[in-house]
Amino acid sequence: LLSSCSASGVAPRQLGRRAPAAARRQRINPTRSTQLHAGDVVAGAAAATSEDGVATPVSIGARLKRAAVTVAAGALLAVAPAPAAMARLEGVNNPGMLPSGPVQEVLDFAGYLTKGDVARLTQEVKNLEKDTGIRVRILAQAYPATPGLAVRDYWAVDDSTVVFVADPGLGNILNFAVGSNVDLEVPPSFWTRLANKYGTKFYWQENGEEASISNAVSAIDSCFREEPGRFKCSKIQAEFGEQASTGKLSSNKWFGSK
C-alpha cells in the first residue's frame, strides 16, 4: 500500500518516533533513489515478527510496509537495506476484482466477514467520516487475491484516509497506512498498541479474523472521537465492557450518529 498511498499523499505509519511536521506533510516522490523493491521489505518484515504475531518497533514498521505491498506494486520508500538474495513478492494491480456500482467502504475478498459484519462496519466508518472527517477504508484479503493498487483510485485515498488492510500473512492481521492529516492527530504508539492487542496470531486464531477487524475499527473510531490533548488515544478501547471513550461523541460510538 505504500506505493498507492504515497502517490496519493498517504504516508505509511512509521512507528517509534514522530517525524517533523514538515516531513510528515511532504508527499513521497516515487522516483526517488532511496527505494526498495516491495519483496525486499516483505522478506525483512518476516524475520522481525515473532511467531505469535506480536509487534516490535521494527516489525510494525515493516508490517505496515507489507500492507502496502499486498495492495500495490512498485518501489517502496527505503527504511533499511535488505539482503539482495531475498525472494521478491510481486505487487498486484487488479481493478477487475473491484465491485461495480457505488463505492464500498469495506471490501472482503477473503471471506472473513459476513454480510451483516460488512453492513455494520460500513455504517461505523461512514458515521466516523461524517462526524470527524476521517475516512477509514477496510480491505480484507489473503494475498495475492486482492485488487491491489486499484484501491487507491477506487477509494480516492487522500491525506485524511486510513487504509486498513486485514491480512494475516505475516502473523499479525492488522496493517495500516495513514494520511498526513491523520498522522498529526494520533500518537505514534497507537497503531503499535492496537496491532499488539487485536492483531496477534494468537488473538485472531482464538477469536476469529472478524473479531480482530471489528475491534480494531471500533478502537480507531473511539480514538478519533476523543478530545485533543496529550492523553488522546492513550487507551485501546473497542470491546464491549471496556471503558468508554472520553470523547464528546462517544455516546454515538456503537449505534452511529443520529
Distance CA 71, CA 174 (A): 14
Distance CA 101, CA 108 (A): 16
Residue 176's nearest CA partner among 193, 122, 238 is 193
Please answer whether residues 199 and 212 qualify as being in contact, where contact means their C-beta atoms are separated by less than 8 angstroms.
Answer: yes
Given a cut of 50, is residue 171 above it in pLDDT?
yes
Distance CA 87, CA 205 (A): 27
Q: Is 245 helix (H, G, I), strand (E, B) or coil?
A: coil
What pLDDT score was predicted for residue 229? 85
3-class SS string, 146-201? CCECHHHHHHCCCCCEEEEEECHHHCCCEEEEEEHHHHHHCCCHHHHHHHHHHCCH
Distance CA 38, CA 89 (A): 7
Given a cut of 60, is residue 6 above it in pLDDT?
no
10: left (phi over 0), alpha (psi -120 to 50) or beta: beta
Which of these ranges, 28-32, 196-200, 210-214, has the smallest mean pLDDT? 28-32
pLDDT over 90, % of the chain: 45
Residue 216's nearest CA partner among 229, 233, 199 is 199
Distance CA 159, CA 240 (A): 31
Please answer whether residues 18 and 88 qualify as being in contact, where contact means their C-beta atoms are separated by less than 8 angstroms.
Answer: no
Q: Is 228 helix (H, G, I), strand (E, B) or coil?
A: coil
Mean pLDDT for the stretch of residues 207-218: 96
Lookup: cell for 164:
486498513
What is the tens place of the pLDDT at every residue in 95-151? 999 999 999 999 999 999 999 999 999 999 999 999 999 999 999 999 999 999 999
Task: Give the start-to-end residue ranges of the domains of the chain.
Answer: 2-252
Does CATH place domain 2-252 in 3.40.50.970? no
The more confident residue out of 20 and 220 is 220
